[in-house]
Structure 1
Amino acid sequence: MKKLASIAVALLLAGSVFAQSGSYKLNDKVANFSLQDGKNKTVSLTDFAGKRAVVVVFTNNNCPYSKLYEERLVNLAGTYGSKGIQFVFVNPSVGTGEASETLQELAAKNYSFPYLADQEQSLSGKFGATKTPEAFVLLQTDGQFTLKYKGAIDDNPQVADQVKNFFLKNVIEEVLSNKTVTSLERRATGCLIKKY
């Protein structure tokens, strides 16, 4: 029985790696994408060609970790928005059983940046996102976007005042200072994205 359980776990892990093998890797060019927000407005990556970088955050209104990080992310967007950093929230859970309710929640959110619905999970699949929240920093150069960071926002989801490592903030600062990004990937802590 233990052997059977071990084989099942190995197959699950292999399947997970295989499913993400076609996703973007660090320093890959990111293709343009277009998604709709809760009000059916289409937003594309190319809309932000004039920005220094785009921070794509996969999030979910029903995930406790996303709720813990919401204020921190909104504050980061407010701090860096005027400096050429564009935030975009993407919900990969729209299109599940509660689709209409989730779209209404998207529309009700009054952020200063887009909150988009990844209804077929095509974007989260391309990025290899596995958790919410999970951040991806796309550096813009000559109208092309390159993936420079993926993973955690910081090292303490539960208590914002006790964060010791501000992964996402540090990457943004390095991008703005034209420095080489030193932290390329940090494992995200959050809710698993269920594949539908």
Structure 2
Amino acid sequence: MRKMSTLLLMFALSLVAMAQVQVGDVAPKFKLLNTDYTEVALEDYNEQEGVILIFTCNHCPYAKFYEERIKQLHSAYKSQGFPVVAINPNDSVKYKEDGFSYMVDKGYEFPYLLDNEGIYKAYGANKTPHVFLLLKSGADNFKVGYIGAIDDSPQDASEVQLKYLENAIKAVKKGTAINPTLTKAIGCSIKPF
């Protein structure tokens, strides 16, 4: 009986460890190395209305398909209070192209952070790209407003019909409800450290 209790406790703890944030939850905080060799924290964005947090990488074909769209999102929404912050959760030993020097070479105008601490687990990100729209909530917190895909056409930007993320931001700006708040992220599975 004691072994069974111990196993149940271990199982329950593992479920908590694998838990992902849900829409409406407080966003987990982070402080990670950026490609400009500074550390960037979620708290650095306390003056913003929100943050477009995208777990992505260099090697995944889907991440490559979305690269220009991610740049366009930052260009379009940074001045409106919704900058992009990208996080690379992949192990560069397994995937050399996801190494820090390759991240630096991207030259993004937004932070591109190395997740060597497993922040992706706290969010429950499992694909690249995987989006979390964070909305300012109180003095130093953000809440999760949307989780999922950027749009409905991972492989071809010219075929996009539903811009899930942009529609979510527009709803927030109008003061209306985000719909949908959750979509399925399409991409490569995360290859963690």
TM-score (norm 2): 0.86
Aligned partner (choices 18, 28, 42) of residue 25 of structure 2:
28
Change over 3 Å in CA distance of 1:20–1:153 after alignment to 2:
farther
Within 5 A, what are the aligned runs for 1:29-68? Answer: 29-68=26-65
Q: CA deviation at 1:175?
A: 1.5
- 1:74-85 → structure 2 map (5 Å cutoff): 74-85=71-82
- Amino-acid identity (%): 34
Cα 1:18–1:32, aligned 2, differ >3 Å: closer, same or farther?
closer
Residue 178 to residue 96, structure 1, CA distance change in 2 (3 Å):
farther
Q: Point out the more displaced range, 111-120 or 130-139.
A: 111-120
8 Å CA contact 2:83–2:110 kept in 1: the answer is yes
Which letter maps to 2:42?
Answer: L
What aligned pairs does 1:97-176 form with structure 2 within 5 A after superposition?
97-98=94-95, 102-120=99-117, 122-143=118-139, 144-176=141-173
Relative to structure 1, the CA distance from residue 178 to residue 107 in structure 2 (aligned partners, 3 Å threshold; closer, same or farther) is same
8 Å Cα contact 1:95/1:119 also seen in 2: no
| Structure 1 counterpart of 2:187, one-letter code | G
Deviations 1:32-83 (A, max 9, x none): 2101113431000000001011011000100000000010111011011111
SS at match of 2:103: helix
* Counterpart secondary structure, 1:138: strand
What's the TM-score, normalizing by structure 1? 0.84
CA RMSD of aligned residues (A): 2.1
Task: Report deviation, 1:19.
Answer: 7.3
State the partner residue of 1:87.
84
Amino acid at match of 1:96: V
Query: Given that residues 68 and 157 in structure 1 are in contact (C-alpha distance below 8 angstroms), is that contact kept between their aligned partners in structure 2?
Result: yes
Q: Residues 178, 162 of structure 1: CA spacing in aligned structure 2 closer, same or farther, 3 A cutoff?
A: same
Count of aligned positions: 180
In structure 1, C-alpha distance between the alignment counterparts of 2:114 and 2:41, rounded to whole Å: 12
> How is 1:175-186 mapped onto 2 (pairs within 5 angstroms)?
175-186=172-183
Change (3 A) 1:90 1:125: same
User: For 1:140 and 1:94, how far apart are their aligned partners in 2?
Assistant: 31
Task: Structure 2: state its 5+ residue gaps.
Answer: 1-10
